[in-house]
Structure 1
Amino acid sequence: MLIIGEKINSTRKSIDRAVRDKDVDFLREEVLKQVNAGAGMLDVNCGTLEAREEPDTMKWLVKTVQDIADIPLCIDSPNWEALAAGLSVHRGKAMINSISGETERFKNVLPLVKQYNASVVALCMDDRGIPANKEQSLRVGVKLVSELIEAGVPVDDIYFDPLVRSVATNPETVLETLQLMEDMASKFNGLHFVSGLSNVSFGLPERRHLNRAYVVMSMASGLDAVIVDPLDSTLMALVYATEALLNMDRFCMQYIKQYQQGKLKVL
């Protein structure tokens, strides 16, 4: 499971302040906490800045985070110019967050994916928005992934996000999302699946319980990357346990290693 740390995001007030003030010491603490907790990649987002400021700030943020930790980044912005700026200074293979079936988004982001040989989060939506049901989702997903592959993007570089909705308002959403991943996996051998956790529990109390349960259920249906807070030690322990139970961790070696490092303690 690829753990993508979510916390270097300027929608958090403390990160917004640190980015605007170029507070490297604060960012260093936030970066290292996530890496030490098990993140294999960090999502970086400075989208709260004005559009004209975001590209230069993204360039600074990417360089700063990679100077702190030698780790690949998931460069996250709806602004393709900010994506381009971050990619231009990124060391190693980056991930782009994100592309979709929306005409303008696809046209502007695809050249970046190819130019920088980047992995890419592929959102299951098009010009009509998020599909209303699993049949529409499958059509949108198949079209998007097929077009990426036809354009020369290796399937191993595509991380399909089925865009789970809130179970509070869409009771069927989780079961439909699990089926969508299984259907997409049957059509595209080697396709990856990624999810953020915030949507599934939106509007409900004690959201972390739903988020944790969703990760476990989704891993059984093919989820192999997640954008999450790696400082949630309970969630991380559940990920390691689920990998062992799904035979993704042969002889439980990773699980044992995490135990020996004291990372399976539930707070």
Structure 2
Amino acid sequence: MKLPIISSLSIAAATATALVSFGVPASAITLGVDVIDDSPFMKGIGPMPIPHATQTFEGDGKTYEFSVVVPEGLGSRGATYSDFGFVSGGVFTSLFTEDLRPYNPGSGNANDWLGTCSISISEECIVKYTFEKDVEYQLGLLDRGFGGGSSNFSAFGVAQKDSYTFNVETDQNYPFPLTEDYVDSNPDKFLTVVEEGAYFLGMEDGMFKKDSENYYYDYQDWVVKVTHESVPEPGTVGALLGLGVVGFISRRRKAVKR
């Protein structure tokens, strides 16, 4: 799904875009998202601007695989209805989108959209996309607000390699401010996903305002795994012929997304 950007980037995101308008190589698998070592939810709440605005990057012609299925637990956890994707040439392209449903049945306000493949992500849950060489992109979220009527591009995110820990409930259900003691004493409210060699992108929609000066930024409004597409050795091609249907689906997906 491709949509024109209706509203402008936030000041922080726009500044980051201007500073890196020359682009960075897409071969850095984080695709313009800052790599951090500490747990992002430990930053809790803070004043604007939200840190870690995503940067623009230049495509390198390589294919990347985005997943909200493997490992279990990935998807969206934000309170608002949103898409995960990228902007290129002023147009937003959605890689994953949520169906417009009022909360996970039975959960009240504890999980809000809880966009998982079995609940409210309506498209394929593993998407391959080829970023064209020398074309500029920027990853982010298209926020549609709490009712789906707005359209704001939010460009904030962090990346971690091998594993990622995030809160499983939406921002509103945590104390102000979020403390390390609270995290340690409530392990059921946090989830760690692990896959060696993979990168996990935690995206922030920047929508929830705690008070007149402070905003949550816990980077779990979308959590997506990204890897380079595997290129089989010549000797294994024959063994993969039986997966022709999968290849067909991937090609069809590219045709829609590009």
**TM-score interval, normalised by the smaller of the two chains:** under 0.3
Greater per-residue strand proportion: 2
Normalised by the length of structure 1, the TM-score is 0.26
> Could you tell me the TM-score, scaled by structure 2's length?
0.26
Report which of the two has the higher share of helix: 1
